[in-house]
Structure 1
Amino acid sequence: MANIHINIGSNQNRKHNIRQAIEGLRMNFFDIECSDIFESVAAGFDGKNFYNVGVNATTDLIIADVISVLHTLEDQQGRDRLQPKFSSRGIDLDLVLYDEVIDKKNNLPRDDILKYNFVLAPLTQLSPQGVHPLKKKTYTQLNATMEALQSYNIEILNKD
């Protein structure tokens, strides 16, 4: 079994879409553990704030099949793949980590961990002592560095 981390993002009908995505993840993966909801401003475009949730899970699927499941779940929720990368969306499911695998083709570990606090903060909450496969630092250490270098524009909301 592989340990995986998925980041869920939505800025349209946010709570509903995230709940629906989590239910889809529960049907396809094991040992689901969710972070709190993190709210952040839209990155790269003007739009409504996003909600992001980190999800730790286990799977017996290979990387390509995990990504396929995530795309299927997005499609079931009406994801429009023709929209620009930086745009509003009902749901976005990204495979962030697959064990300690380093795979450039599939962007693992996902480079967004080191770019965006809305990816790193939920990951840190769920796996504070986890070690980034490339940087060899804990997510807590990376999060502290990001907090010091960037305006930390996220807010933790209650799970409800």
Structure 2
Amino acid sequence: MNKVYLLIGGNMGNRQENLQKAIALIRQRIGEVQQASSIYETAAWGKTDQPSFLNQALLLYTAMEPLPLLKEILAVELQMGRERIEKNGPRTIDIDIIFYNDAIIDEPGLIVPHPAMAQRRFVLTPMAELSPQLLHPVLKRTMQQLLEECTDPLPVHTFN
């Protein structure tokens, strides 16, 4: 089985319900979710004239290889009404592969570890909660170290 970390998030509709629905679909279609971080709220990153996002990190195990996993993730997003209209635009759900085992993958359409994660507090905060000692295979820093070194000014708050 492959150990996978995902980040799920969204800022349209009932955001918390959308996260719950995404987790249910991931369980059905991809693999059993072993752990989930708290839910965090943050202002939109990149394109700021939109509602705040809710984000959550997940640890799951799957038999899927990376590219079939990505295909299934995109199918879950589509099933939940995701429309890719503008880069960094609003969305019902966004599911990113953060880590796949300790693999370094650079394929068309799939780069793992997620290339921008070390610059994004909204990724690092839930990842550091879930697995603070997890080592980034490229940067050779733990999630906790990356979070402490992160210069992203956007605040991240636990969502009640």
Q: Which residue pairs with 1:53 in the alignment?
A: 56
Whole-Å Cα distance in 1 between the matches of residues 81 and 148 of structure 2? 36
Q: Which residue pairs with 1:42 in the alignment?
A: 44
Q: Which residue pairs with 2:8 in the alignment?
A: 8
1:37 partner amino acid: I
Q: Which residue pairs with 1:135 in the alignment?
A: 139
Equivalent in 31, 43, 48 of residue 29 of structure 1: 31
Specify whether residues 41 and 65 from structure 1 end up closer, same or farther in structure 2 by C-alpha distance, changes over 3 A only: same
Consecutive unaligned residues in structure 2, runs of 5 or more: none
Once superposed, what is the RMSD of the aligned Cα atoms?
1.2
User: Are the counterparts in 1 of residues 57 and 130 from structure 2 also a CA contact under 8 Å?
Assistant: yes
Structure 1 runs of 4+ aligned residues shifted over 4 Å read none
How many correspondences in the alignment?
155
Q: Which residue pairs with 2:75 in the alignment?
A: 72
Query: Identity, % of aligned pairs?
Result: 30
Deviation at 1:31, TM superposition (A): 4.2
Deviation at 1:120, TM superposition (A): 1.1
Consecutive unaligned residues in structure 1, runs of 5 or more: none
1:26 partner amino acid: R
**TM-score, L = length of structure 1:** 0.92
Equivalent in 52, 74, 98 of residue 100 of structure 2: 98
Offset from partner CA, 1:73-124 (integer Å, 9 cap, x none):
001001112x111111111011111011111222100012112111111111
Offset from partner CA, 1:9-38 (integer Å, 9 cap, x none):
110120111110011112121243110011
Whole-Å Cα distance in 2 between the matches of residues 30 and 50 of structure 1? 24
